[in-house]
Amino acid sequence: MTRHWTDAVPAERFSRGHLVTLCVAVALLAASTALLMTGAQPAAEPISAAPAEASQNPSEEKPTPATLPAARVAWPSSDRWLHFSAGATPGPLKWSGPRTDAILAPPIIWAAQASAEEGGAAGLDRLLRFIRQRNPGARIGRYFSCCTIRPRPLYHPPESVPAEALEGMLMNASWSAQEPGRRYIDIRREDVRRRLAGLLVSGARRENFLALDNFIFEFGGNPDGTTREEWSDANFALLAEIYDQARRAALPVVLNAATRPEETWARVTKHCDGILFEMPFHPNLRRDAALLEREMSAYRAALDAGKLVCLIPITPANHTLAQKLEEQQLVAAGAMLIREAGDALFAAQTLYQPTPAEWMEWPARLGAARGRYRVEGQEMTREFERGVLRVDWIAGRVTLGPRAAPREGG
């Protein structure tokens, strides 16, 4: 997945259970400052979700969502299931059954791959048959790390384009000391960007969308021999080229990028149909409702434009399983605070489980939202048809309760 850098927050190593790509050392994004999104361009009429009601805290100024270019595709909604799979593999199919099929074949699957131990190409075929039989409407991505190559792929299909296809187009810089053979592609060159984009698009014919990983925008790091600005500009140019070629091939593009939603999504989402984000509701932001609301406003703007938004909970490797499940539920609750009927808004399950977690079924269980969320001290509260959701961000606590009965004569 995408690496993130900051000088303000200690580095941690993340784990994604059955995810299909090896995680490298990442550092959490700084949250000491936050700016409202700027630079949104005039757009075609957006694909809008149901309008949110006016704030029930009229004394508080709410962030104004930006207008984004509409997505080119209609994504499955999370009206029934809130979860998606960040990386599907054949291993968990042993749990297949009436109750678990919905977990193993969710509406959105960022990547489906199989290691050699899982049968390689044969294992992948088995996985794809399983998913499409249980959920014919599932959208499956073709994963590519699009600024690096690995000389020896770890999965089928490979997680990067073949090195020999880009001979003479690689940089001397390595992705990390732990992976010296994993080299950067010299995407500063226009001819390389054009060649790489063609390989990525042609390599995704079998799946439903192009899943692009390891883009770095403005806040990310840069390989040796480049400046941060130069590398960020090269990434933007590559994304624009990929999106142009993918659009001609009628192939949706979903992007995983190291970028702050409220600061750069308006620019990034001009060149993709969906965003995968690995740092939702960052712990550094949870002490400040205004910062959280700016992030949530960025999600809302993307959703109103018909974009797919997938959130991956932060799961440091040194966390216990219980801690990871708590974080997973907290991110799901944050999604429910802003979710409207018809939205393609999903939260990642951190690992496969024999039974669904309660939060996976919240959209169907709680029903339609009754207005916007409210900020009450350190809590955010939202009412639904069949219950009330409360999120205490500082304590990391989520509670569900019944709706208050209307007072007589009220």
User: Quick one: CATH architecture of 11-31+63-368?
Assistant: Alpha-Beta Barrel (3.20)
Quickly state the pLDDT bin for 10 (edges 50, 70, 90).
Answer: very low
* Torsion (CA) 6, 12, 13, 19 in degrees, nearest 10: -70
Rg value, the chain, Cα: 21
The pLDDT value recorded for residue 404 is 67
Separation of alpha carbons 282 and 272, rounded Å: 23
Cα distances (Å, whole numbers) of residue 279 to 34, 112, 208: 14, 22, 25
Tokens of 101: 């099929």
Separation of alpha carbons 289 and 298, rounded Å: 14
Sheet strands (E) in 2-64: 11-12, 26-27
pLDDT at 41 over 60: no
Type of residue at 26: V
Tell the residue number behind the tokens 């984004």, with chain if given. Answer: 68
Separation of alpha carbons 361 and 78, rounded Å: 9
The pLDDT value recorded for residue 67 is 61
The pLDDT value recorded for residue 264 is 84
The pLDDT value recorded for residue 355 is 77
Higher pLDDT, 333 or 322: 333
The pLDDT value recorded for residue 257 is 82
Lowest mean pLDDT among 23-37, 312-326, 340-354: 23-37
The pLDDT value recorded for residue 318 is 85
Higher pLDDT, 44 or 104: 104
The pLDDT value recorded for residue 202 is 92
How confident is the prediction for the chain on average, in pLDDT?
Answer: 81
Higher pLDDT, 261 or 205: 261
The stretch 154-172 carries a mean pLDDT of 93
Quickly state the pLDDT bin for 186 (edges 50, 70, 90).
Answer: very high
Quickly state the pLDDT bin for 97 (edges 50, 70, 90).
Answer: confident
With a pLDDT cut of 90, the percent of the chain lying above it is 58
The stretch 86-96 carries a mean pLDDT of 87
pLDDT at 385 over 50: yes
HSE on the CB side for 272, CA within 13 Å?
27
With a pLDDT cut of 70, the percent of the chain lying above it is 80
pLDDT in tens, 231-288: 999 999 999 999 999 999 999 999 998 788 888 888 888 899 999 999 999 998 898 9
The stretch 99-113 carries a mean pLDDT of 91
Separation of alpha carbons 249 and 266, rounded Å: 24
The pLDDT value recorded for residue 2 is 43
pLDDT at 20 over 80: no
Question: What are the structural domain ranges in the chain?
Answer: 11-31+63-368
The pLDDT value recorded for residue 408 is 56
Cα distances (Å, whole numbers) of residue 265 to 16, 32, 250: 24, 19, 22
pTM: 0.81
The stretch 198-222 carries a mean pLDDT of 86
